[in-house]
């Protein structure tokens, strides 16, 4: 058994799961199952030990990332396949590289369409009219354009959220002033749901309940910062609208 290659394989699997936004328990279980199938009983952070072999450890720093449910599912399926079939390590490595290299993303028009439909639906859910929903959908498109632009500039999540909240609230005020929509508050609420950290909140609750306090608290801090960014961006836009005499 090439333990160095096995450790690299398991470390890469955990790294790409984290990079795709997976919960920490899922990462730990996937790595542990994979090592157990290959006959390795001990693992600490991705480290293994076996009689007659020197201890080996791998560490990968996870940089800025988002949530890619498609890739999480692909990597989970790969882990189950490796555990069920226990293939040669070279074959397993090739399969992992193929899954990790999948860069399938929705096109910009598809993303903006999703922003429009999602935010419009949330506006209706919160009691807005059809006109409000249309306006909220346009605000959602403005958020999408803002996030795409800020991502290309390499801006971090906090400032992207501030920008998204700002453009959505400002767009809502302008659209109501133009007669498209009547309830500025409902339009804004529907639009900023595109920025709400729903997946992050779900993951930090799951991690804390599972006892993974460090991971859970870091996600909790991320959710708080995102919420602060939404409030700050929206508040700035509404304050600017009041100063210009266009407050709702």
The pLDDT tens digits along the chain (248 residues) read 677 788 788 888 888 888 887 777 788 888 888 877 777 655 445 566 666 666 666 666 666 666 777 888 888 888 888 888 888 888 888 888 888 887 667 788 988 999 999 999 999 999 989 999 999 999 999 999 999 888 888 788 889 999 999 999 999 999 998 988 889 999 999 999 999 888 888 888 888 887 777 778 888 888 899 999 999 999 999 999 888 874 44
**215 alpha carbon, distance to own chain's centre:** 15
Q: What is the DSSP letter of 179?
A: T
Q: What is the DSSP letter of 212?
A: -
Give bridge partners of residue 56 from the DSSP assignment: 48
Q: What is the DSSP letter of 46?
A: S
Q: Please give the model's pTM, rounded to 2 decimal places.
A: 0.66
Number of Cβ atoms within 10 Å of the Cβ of 84: 9
The tokens describing 85, both together, are: 């079939």
In 3D space, the residue among 194, 198, 167 whose CA is nearest the CA of residue 113 turns out to be 194
User: Which letter, b or e, does each residue of 199-220 get, where b requires 16 or more Cβ atoms within 10 Å of its Cβ?
Assistant: ebbebbebbeeeebeebbeebb
The tokens describing 199, both together, are: 């997946």
């Amino acid at each position: 058994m090439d333990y160095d290659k096995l450790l690299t394989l398991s470390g890469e699997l955990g790294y790409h799961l984290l990079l795709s936004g997976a919960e920490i328990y899922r990462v730990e279980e996937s790595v542990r199952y994979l090592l157990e199938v290959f006959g390795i009983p001990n693992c600490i952070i991705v480290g293994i030990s076996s009689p007659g072999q020197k201890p080996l450890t791998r560490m990968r720093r996870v940089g800025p990332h988002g949530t890619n449910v498609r890739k999480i599912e692909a990597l989970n399926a790969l882990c189950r396949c490796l555990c069920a079939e226990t293939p040669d390590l070279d074959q397993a490595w090739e399969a992992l590289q193929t899954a990790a290299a999948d860069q399938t993303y929705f096109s910009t028009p598809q993303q903006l369409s999703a922003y429009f439909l999602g935010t419009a639906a949330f506006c209706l859910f919160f009691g807005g009219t059809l006109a409000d929903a249309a306006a909220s959908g346009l605000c959602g498109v403005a958020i999408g354009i803002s996030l795409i632009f800020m991502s290309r500039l390499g801006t971090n999540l906090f400032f992207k959220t501030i920008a998204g909240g700002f453009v959505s609230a400002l767009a809502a005020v302008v659209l109501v002033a133009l007669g498209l929509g009547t309830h500025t508050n409902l339009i804004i609420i529907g639009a900023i749901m595109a920025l709400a950290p729903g997946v992050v909140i779900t993951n930090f609750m799951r991690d804390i309940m599972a006892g993974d306090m460090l991971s859970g608290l870091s996600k909790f801090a991320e959710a708080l910062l995102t919420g602060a960014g939404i409030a700050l961006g929206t508040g700035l836009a509404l304050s600017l609208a009041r100063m210009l005499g266009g407050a709702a």
